[in-house]
A and B are shown apart, each in its own frame.
Chain A
Amino acid sequence: MGSRKGGVGLEDGKKLVAGMPSLIPHSTISNPIDSGKNIDMHSSRTSDFGSLEQQQQSIGFHLENAAILSRNPPVFVQKPSALAAGSSAPLQFGTFNKTVFNSIGGIVSQATQEKGQQQPPNLVSLSSGAVNYENWGESLMADTSPRTDTSTDLDPDDKNQMLEGGHVSNLAASDCSDRSKERAGDQKTLRRLAQNREAARKSRLRKKAYVQQLESSRLKLSQLEQELQRARQQGIFISSSGDQSHSTAGNGALAFDMEYARWVEDQNRQINELRGGVNSHASDNELRIMVESVMAHWDDIFKLKGVAAKTDVFHMLSGMWKTPAERCFLWLGGFRSSELLKLLANQLEPLTEQQLLGICNLQQSSQQAEDALSQGMEALQQSLAETLASGSLGPSSSGSSGNVANYMGQMAMAMGKLGTLENFLRQADNLRQQTLQQMHRILTTRQAARALLAIHDYFSRLRALSSLWLARPRE
């Protein structure tokens, strides 16, 4: 009865009061005492109802955790295991803070009881401080439930224990009649307190539900904003009515973006395997199998691009599905084969004369093909511009039926020209695919493996550069 649970002395309690909390041992946390009006009724915690208390505490803490989001930055390093598992860290700390103040009151009261003193004045201020802290925390959370009882859920229970268990040693001496009168009054108080506690608990549950709803809405909002941003970049008109055809194009783009992300992950994995094979001097047969699968994987992305181009050619041409640094080098919706071969020329030595010749010819052919396609694209742009500019622009361009007919004819022609964009994209991808396949044909298995590693590493560096760029500190 006079023993004290926990190893924190008065001095430590003072330290806590001073507002510089340090690590609080577990056992102390399990010992909150309402330092409000019931000091005289409490004995120090004994093991008689310690375990029950801990159970109650766990339940109480769980509810508190759920309801309370502490705005204070967490200052405690140790997570008490008495707190219910599964609550998030900030919630724990929130309760932690609250618990600390209660504990402080408890510790101090224990200490004073041991010393046989009256309740010291600073304890009152402590308890009111705890009350104030609690109220402040609660008001920040927009809790509208009336808090008539500032204690935790435990205290009426504790009091119950006190009265029924009869483990009270510090009650002022009184005769039996006084005590029975007290008891009747106390039972009313008990009922009232129980009702208050119930109301408080309900409001905490409501708050928890509300906060969770807010959190999920916030997440959804940021997701929607991202989608919108992406769609805007693609130049899709975002109408409030949600035009079906526009959203289809948007869906095609987003679907491709996801497929591409998965493709990049898969490639990373395959390339790592290949790298392991090369470094561990795997046999030619093993290497060949790995090289074949990487080549087939490259074919996959060209297929995916072709399908996506049918739905949204402008998204594919824009390169928005690539990282910014990669986009810098964008040519007709992808990488330039001739540049890739220039990059590899240094990495592939030693090559036989025949191989060297083959690679040089390949580079020259791809350069010529690229130039041809580029000029074709330029012709397309010019033709499109001429089509849209034909007829009269400016003030006189609207009105008569002749003009309208012209306009519609113009648009029809322009639409036809836009239709050839998909063909250009397909030819460009074919160029890239052919370059890779020809390179594979010219090189030995081991050389091809190193080439594929080099290509992947180059693009990886571009992607890493993009990340660094996007994360750079700005003034």
Chain B
Amino acid sequence: MDRVVGLASQRAVVIFSVSSCCMCYAIKTLFGELGCNPAIYELDEDPAGREMELALIRLIGKKKPVPAVFIGGRFVGLTEQVMSHHLGGTLVPLLRDAGALWL
């Protein structure tokens, strides 16, 4: 958990993902479209990946805890929450506040 939190607070936008997961791919694409440059950690390619996965499962409560999006060090959600934020117009302000966007 410490590792997760530690990594999450290092950058404005942090995404924990699995390289073969297509939904993770979709979220990464979205942030790219928005003009961010998120830090991406592939759990299946990280040596401490399994630990982090378990930590995320405990945090989020889902069997598949990816793509887990942190903005400004705080957990925002998985795909559904991120999409809902975006449609509600609250995602971009969050990014801006965290300094992930310049506009």
Contact = CB atoms under 8 A, between A and B. Distances in A.
The listed residue with most A CB atoms (<10 A of its CB), out of B25, B79, B84, B87, is B87
Contacts, number: 69
Interface in B6-25: 20-23, 25
Interface residues of B, number: 20
Contact of A383 (B22, B29, B83, B86): B22
Interface string B42-85: 00000000000000000000000000000000000001100110
Given A375-B26, A434-B84, A438-B87, A368 B20 contact: no
Contacts of A417: 22
B40 to A, nearest CB: 15
Contacts of A423: 23, 79
Please report whether the interface of chain B is mostly helix, strand, loop or mixed according to DSSP: helix
A379 B89 contact: no
A369 interface: yes
A372 B89 contact: no
23 contacts: A361-B89, A362-B87, A365-B86, A365-B87, A365-B89, A365-B91, A368-B30, A368-B33, A368-B86, A369-B83, A371-B30, A372-B26, A375-B26, A377-B26, A383-B20, A420-B21, A420-B22, A423-B79, A427-B23, A427-B80, A431-B83, A438-B87, A438-B88
B30 A369 contact: yes
The listed residue with most B CB atoms (<10 A of its CB), out of A376, A431, A438, is A376
Given A430-B80, A434-B83, A372 B88 contact: no
A383 B23 CA distance: 12
Given A362-B89, A372-B29, A377 B84 contact: no
A377 to B, nearest CB: 7
Interface string A362-390: 10011011011101110110010000000
A225 B87 CA distance: 44
Interface residues on A, range: 20 to 34
Contacts of A424: 22-23
Contact of B25 (A379, A430, A431, A435): A379
Contact of B83 (A361, A362, A375, A427): A427
A434 B23 contact: no
A21 interface: no
A372 B27 contact: yes
A344 to B, nearest CB: 15
Contact of B34 (A362, A368, A383, A434): A368
A446 B20 CA distance: 47
Contact of A376 (B26, B88, B91): B26
A252 interface: no
A424 B33 CA distance: 19
Give the 8 A-B residue pairs with the shortest CB-CB distance, closest first.
Answer: A376-B26, A372-B30, A380-B22, A434-B87, A379-B25, A372-B26, A379-B22, A372-B29
B2 to A, nearest CB: 29
Contacts of B87: 362, 365-366, 369, 431, 434-435, 438
Interface string A405-440: 000000000000100100110110011001100100
Contacts of A369: 30, 83, 86-87
A358 interface: yes
Nearest to A441: B88
A63 B26 CA distance: 72
Nearest to B34: A368
Contacts of A362: 87, 89
Contact of A430 (B27, B29, B34, B84): B84
